[in-house]
Chains A and B, each alone.
Chain A
């Protein structure tokens, strides 16, 4: 491996981001954190991450819009994993309709996330 693989995390919970950063960097990935959807879209356009993790509910630009932007406007096939909280089933369905690859309901196990990422990047 010449360079670690880039992952984008769009998540407004700072400590969760911090935890995942540790976890994923330990697993050999490079995690870029965006605190809101708008930032996430800028990073996606500039840095082209290999996988996108996003919360559905976020300030201003929602996770759904990120997916929509990636699939429709940028025409990328980058895998997208969506995090949702309980009761957001409808949003998850929408996320899949828009082209999300996978979803995880919060609270989720960070270890499981790492496994899913590994599998998607194989």
Chain B
């Protein structure tokens, strides 16, 4: 054994430098691999423990929360049992993992119910002082900690931190700005949308959908004047305003939308056609019909979609030639429109292109 060791040492000592280097590398790699394996083992067992803690505590917190909710007195005072639970949660919330579990538990219930139970959960959030700790995190150095804190404060609808949060509105990180926008809209509804006036960064489609979803949950649908946003130099704000116009049927903004038919961005013009069609703005039909040849193909398709709902009998002459249009969507729309006009006419006769298989009335189904 000693001999073998001695041999190896001798071999390496006498070997060329390249070989020595290679074996040095090999030894390093072996050491790295061993430490990686140890690290892997360690992190796996740590994760397993974490998971076990999570399971146990989640159950515990759930039943504690239910107990808290049912231990309340008739008179709004906090009962002894409740105080015990508050203290317990307060103690647990100093641990990051446990705090997260408690928050998840509270929100899991709060998001599904309304009324006094929801208020009670809210109260618990204050009593356990988790609200304070979240607000304190707004000053944290790491952007993801800040974003998560705003997210949490949004979900619990904490209005008191508004002034603190608004200071971060121009945060360099997109994710933080996004959380702030959600906070503003969720808590201050349409008023919260005021940030759109000063927004210079693009509002992504994803953000727009999230904001609209939040807005749609409110009962008060008193929407402010959107013409400013429609004319915004920030295209994404204008797109967002178009969506608002459609969802909330903003007839007052009709003229502003019609002027978007001349917008330099094609997508904007198409979107505007869609919204006008939805609003039944008949004057848009005339404008587009007159300009038809100048329109891009996509706009023409959008126009025909619009005509499906807004055609009049005298449009037939205009439409008929398009039944043989090269574009499929235009062809289908034209056929639908002509058919609809024919049905309304007295003594209707059917014009069905002989070789095309033309589906019967309602059978025109599209996958959607």
Contact = CB atoms under 8 A, between A and B. Distances in A.
Contact of B108 (A15, A86, A87): A15
A112 B63 CA distance: 22
B115 A86 contact: no
A15 B62 contact: yes
Nearest to B104: A15
Nearest to B212: A87
B114 A19 contact: no
Interface residues of A, number: 16
Interface string B113-152: 1111110000000000000000000000000000000000
Interface string A9-20: 000011110110
Interface stretch (A46-54, A56-64, A101-109): A101-109
Interface string A62-94: 000000000000000000000000110000000
A21 to B, nearest CB: 9
Given A13-B108, A15-B108, A87-B216, A112 B66 contact: no
Contact of B115 (A14, A15, A16, A109): A109
Contacts of B62: 14-15, 18
Contacts of A108: 112-114
Contacts of B115: 109-112
B262 to A, nearest CB: 34
Interface in A1-54: 13-16, 18-19, 22
A19 B117 contact: yes
Interface in B65-119: 65-66, 69-70, 105, 108-118
Contacts of A87: 213, 216
Contact of A86 (B109, B113, B117, B217): B217
A107 B111 contact: yes
29 contacts: A13-B108, A13-B112, A15-B62, A15-B65, A15-B66, A15-B105, A15-B109, A16-B109, A19-B113, A22-B66, A22-B70, A86-B213, A86-B216, A86-B217, A87-B213, A106-B112, A107-B111, A107-B112, A107-B114, A108-B112, A108-B114, A109-B113, A109-B114, A109-B116, A109-B117, A110-B115, A111-B115, A111-B116, A112-B115
Interface of B: 62-63, 65-66, 69-70, 105, 108-118, 213, 216-217
Given A19-B66, A109-B113, A110-B113, 15 more contacts: A13-B112, A15-B62, A15-B65, A15-B105, A15-B109, A18-B66, A22-B66, A22-B70, A106-B111, A106-B113, A107-B111, A107-B114, A108-B113, A109-B116, A110-B117
